[in-house]
């Protein structure tokens, strides 16, 4: 499912379509340090034990799910436990396939953060933001994702999520320059849920990375209040239409008209369109007919932690997306 809207905190890392109940057998190796040696396993459930009383209650400006009246000791506990996860590299990465709608084959995969305990990543990243560690948390997630991406088929690209403030950190550019996958296989997804205070600085920070081959995607397009301005200023390579614009697009003529207009707009600026959250054959047929370039969603494939499944996305017949009839 999509993460809840969290306009009151600095949480910006999207963990779309979270799949609960993943088994311990699906755990994958975790990196320690900058794409370094394998870290020791960590019982995430023990890290978060007895923390729930601190994160129950309404959302506040302090962060999603954190009590406005949280004591200093409670904040210290949250900060300590977030630091523990960051230090021990206990994040795992699931990948969700992204299909080329013209060929029907997997073109790339979006990286999504997971924890062995089944803890909702949104809650954990909200705690990190509350503790002032949002950038550290995002950098750790990107590092884990790029480390895991070496096990994806070589021709697939990998999409990683980062907020504008994280992209402005010198640590972000250093991390990507040392990534174990080629720059031309990396797609950076920038969510529009996070405000951009200074587009000039952001564009300057991204310019060297884009020159090296990295592509930029605007994530959740259509879900915020300044979509077109955000897209115009970033001039992205990929525009990812939010799930809310894709759900029932086969029956909603207004959504269909907007989708058609976005395809034409993307073509004019040299970008491509990815439809997010495809959950039915009818939605897949409609976005394909409209000319959207690629798509992802439960109908096409769930996120998975299993490298054996990642390997099948390019070389196995199962990498071909479900075939649907496209009516006139």
Contact 93, 113 (CB under 8 A): yes
Which residue shows structure tokens 């060929």?
103
Distances (CA, A) of 251 to 280, 282, 300: 12, 9, 20
Say what the pLDDT of residue 121 is: 87
Percent of the chain with pLDDT over 90: 56
**How confident is the model over 170-180, as a mean pLDDT?**
96
Say what the pLDDT of residue 63 is: 38
Q: How many whole angstroms separate alpha carbon 84 and alpha carbon 82?
A: 5
Q: How many whole angstroms separate alpha carbon 208 and alpha carbon 121?
A: 30
Percent of the chain with pLDDT over 70: 72
**How confident is the model over 195-222, as a mean pLDDT?**
93
Say what the pLDDT of residue 11 is: 29
pTM of this structure: 0.78
Q: Whole-number mean pLDDT of the chain? A: 78
**How confident is the model over 246-262, as a mean pLDDT?**
96
User: CA dihedral defined by 190, 121, 8, 200, rounded to 10 degrees?
Assistant: -20
pLDDT band at 255 (very low <50, low <70, confident <90, very high): very high
Say what the pLDDT of residue 325 is: 46
With a cut of 50, say whether residue 40 has pLDDT above it. no
Say what the pLDDT of residue 202 is: 96
User: Between these two residues, 45 and 177, which has the higher pLDDT value?
Assistant: 177
Tens digits of residue pLDDT in 277-302: 999 999 999 999 999 999 999 999 99
Contact 271, 262 (CB under 8 A): no
Tokens of 185: 């296989």
With a cut of 50, say whether residue 146 has pLDDT above it. yes
Say what the pLDDT of residue 113 is: 94
Contact 296, 98 (CB under 8 A): yes
User: Between these two residues, 204 and 6, which has the higher pLDDT value?
Assistant: 204
């Amino acid at each position: 499912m999509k993460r809840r809207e969290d306009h009151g905190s600095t949480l910006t890392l999207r963990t779309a379509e979270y799949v609960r109940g993943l088994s311990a057998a699906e755990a994958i190796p975790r990196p320690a340090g900058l794409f370094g040696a394998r870290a020791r396993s960590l019982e995430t459930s023990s890290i978060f034990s007895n923390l729930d009383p601190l994160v129950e209650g309404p959302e506040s400006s302090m962060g999603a799910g954190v009590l406005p009246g949280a004591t200093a000791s409670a904040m210290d506990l949250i900060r300590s436990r977030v630091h523990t996860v960051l230090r021990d590299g206990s994040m795992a990465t699931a990948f969700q396939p992204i299909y080329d709608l013209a060929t029907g084959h997997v073109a790339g995969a979006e990286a999504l953060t997971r924890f062995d305990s089944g803890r909702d990543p949104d809650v954990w990243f909200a705690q990190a933001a509350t503790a002032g560690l949002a950038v550290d948390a995002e950098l750790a997630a990107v590092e884990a994702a790029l480390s895991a991406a070496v096990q994806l088929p070589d021709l697939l690209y990998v999409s990683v999520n980062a907020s504008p403030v994280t992209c402005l950190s010198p640590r972000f550019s250093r991390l990507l320059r040392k990534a174990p996958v080629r720059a031309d296989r990396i797609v950076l997804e920038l969510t529009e849920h996070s405000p951009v205070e200074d587009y000039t600085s952001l564009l300057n920070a991204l310019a060297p990375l884009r020159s090296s081959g990295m592509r930029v995607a605007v994530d959740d397009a259509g879900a915020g209040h300044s979509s077109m301005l955000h897209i115009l200023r970033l001039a992205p390579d990929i525009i990812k239409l939010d799930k809310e614009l894709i759900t029932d697009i086969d029956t909603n003529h207004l959504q269909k008209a907007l989708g058609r207009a976005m395809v034409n707009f993307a073509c004019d600026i040299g970008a491509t369109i990815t439809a997010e959250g495809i959950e039915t054959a009818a939605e897949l047929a409609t976005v394909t007919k409209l000319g959207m370039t690629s798509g992802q969603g439960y109908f096409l494939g769930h996120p998975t932690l299993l490298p054996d499944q990642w390997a099948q996305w390019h070389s196995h017949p199962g990498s071909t997306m479900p075939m649907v009839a496209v009516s006139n």
